Amino acid sequence: MAGEHGERDDLGHQDEIPGVPGWVKVLGISLAVLVVVILLVMVISGGQHGPGRHM
Q: What is the DSSP string of 2-35?
A: -BTTB-B-TT--BSS-----HHHHHHHHHHHHHH
DSSP 52: G
Residue 51 as a binder of another protein (CB under 8 A): the answer is yes
**Which 12-41 positions form the footprint of another protein (CB under 8 A)?**
12-14, 17-18, 20-21, 23-24, 27, 38
- Amino acid, res. 6: G
Q: State the number of binding residues for another protein (CB under 8 A).
A: 19
For binding to another protein (CB under 8 A), which residues are involved?
3, 8, 11-14, 17-18, 20-21, 23-24, 27, 38, 49, 51, 53-55
